[in-house]
Amino acid sequence: MPSSTLSRLATISVSSSRSRVSAYKVPKTVHLVSELPLTQYGKIDKRRIRAQLIEEARSLRG
């Protein structure tokens, strides 16, 4: 799927959330990825995702 389409879907999802849930539940940012890292048991590896986001934030700061 083209990145512009994915970007538009993320925007629509956040906009839709604003009208349906409390403001604190609406995500401030959306990160689109092609696949999620999994643990050896096939579950989403939240620790690796968190580490990737921290590393990305550090690289943006310089």
Give tens-digit pLDDT for 2-47. 778 888 888 888 888 898 999 999 988 888 888 999 999 999 999 9
Do both 25 and 43 map to the same domain? no
Do both 4 and 24 map to the same domain? yes
pTM of whole model > 0.75?
Answer: no
SS3 of the chain: CCHHHHHHHHHHHHHHHHCCCCHHHCCCCCCCCCCCCECCCCCECHHHHHHHHHHHHHHHHC
Q: How many structural domains are present in the chain?
A: 2
Do both 42 and 62 map to the same domain? yes
Q: What is the pLDDT of residue 40?
A: 98
Q: What is the pLDDT of residue 49?
A: 95
